[in-house]
Amino acid sequence: MTANIIDGKAFALGLRERIATQVATFREATGRVPGLAVVLVGEDPASAVYVRNKHKATVAAGMASFEHKLSAHTSQADLLALVDQLNADPAVDGILVQLPLPGHIDERAVITRIDPDKDVDGFHPVNAGRLATGLEGFVPCTPLGCLMLLKDQLGDLAGLDAVVIGRSNIVGKPMAQLLVKESCTVTVAHSKTRDLSSVVKRADIVVAAVGRPEMVKGEWIKPGACVIDVGINREPAQPGGSNGRLVGDVDFAGALSVAGAITPVPGGVGPMTIAVLLRNTMISAHRREDVSYDKDAW
């Protein structure tokens, strides 16, 4: 068997096109466009790249992008004051504070200061609670993107055995909640899990969100399983100075001959994150203007 390679890039592109169409409809109905504010504190190069990509994607979808680049020495009080200002700004539908923040700033204090109804990253405890209790809220972008790929691949997920490897607040835990909501039987594995290979072996769905290059081996995978690889790991630089290649948490070559379907790295889950961020911002704008929307359409 050779697994179907799930093209997250193409799926994300389609989603972004549907969002752009909806932006035009929203603009006609309300006379304004949805707005996303992104706050970057400091000069972390990876964060700067993400923020640039988010800005480009937001503008390409026809939305307003408000960028706030602050020095690494910005005080927590000043950052919280900016969040308050964005919470109160009617042109801003979504607020994203790029993580990680410099060490002198308490990330939790910043995340909890964002208005939960503008928290398009879905990291606020109110949104985590809404997800856990089945209320409408914002779901973190990466796990929601994974769910979209799974449903596109498998259709109805009810009754399937799913293993989520990783229990972070931004990927593992919300992923598990989403799969429970889809009526999967869910196991959450983590750094203290015993005999991970046999836990993975039982699963029809494997979501790997660990941050360890190629940790999940092909022989752990149940034949025909659907494998979603969230991990993004850069291998060491080559002797010639060129960047090392990007690899996921799954041994892609090994899994390819066993799995039914698998996301590649890059080009699998990665492109979904920004597309879902735009979707969440779009939904926020509709809710705030009391315009009806079909959340399943985008």
Chain residues that interact with ligand NAD, rule: CB under 6 A: 142, 165-168, 170-172, 189-191, 193, 196, 209-212, 230-233, 269-270, 273
Query: ∠ CA 233-238-240 to the nearest 5 degrees?
Result: 150
Question: Of 92 and 121, which CB lies nearer to ligand NAD in the complex structure?
Answer: 121
Q: State which residue, 100 or 159, has the beta carbon closest to ligand NAD.
A: 100
Cα separation, 230 vs 262, whole angstroms: 11
Task: Single out the catalytic residue among 22, 98, 153, 177.
Answer: 98
Q: Is 54 a catalytic residue?
A: yes
CA dist., res. 13 & res. 172, Å (int): 25
Q: Which residue, 80 or 132, is less far from ligand NAD as judged by CB?
A: 132
Q: How far is the CB of 77 from ligand NAD (least distance, A)?
A: 27
- In the chain, where do the E strands start and end? 4-5, 35-41, 64-70, 94-97, 161-165, 185-189, 205-208, 226-229, 233-234, 246-247, 261-262
Instruction: Rank residues 210 and 256 by Cβ distance to ligand NAD and give the closer one.
Output: 210
Minimum distance from residue 20 beta carbon to ligand NAD (Å): 21
Closest-CB residue for ligand NAD? 168
Is 98 in the active site? yes
Q: How far from the centroid of its chain's Cα atoms is residue 100's Cα? A: 15
Please spell the DSSP secondary structure of 225-253, one letter per residue. -EEEE---EEPPPPTTSPPPPEE-SB-HH
Which residue, 30 or 233, has its beta carbon nearer to ligand NAD? Answer: 233
Count the Cβ atoms, other than its own, within 10 Å of residue 175.
30
The least CB distance from residue 217 to ligand NAD, in Å, is 12
Least separation in angstroms between CB 164 and ligand NAD: 9
The count of other CB atoms within 10 Å of the CB of residue 168 is 17
Check if 295 is active-site.
Answer: no
From the list 121, 204, 229, 249, the catalytic residue is 121
Q: What is the layout of strands, in order, in the sheet containing 226-229? A: 4-5, 261-262, 226-229, 205-208, 161-165, 185-189
Closer CB to ligand NAD, 187 or 193, in the complex: 193
Least distance between ligand NAD and beta carbon 177 (Å): 14
Give the nearest distance from C-beta 231 to ligand NAD in angstroms.
Answer: 4
> Cα dihedral sign for 102, 107, 110, 116?
positive
SS3 186: strand
Q: Is the dihedral of CA 18, 21, 26, 31 positive or negative?
A: positive
Residue numbers annotated as active site:
54, 98, 121
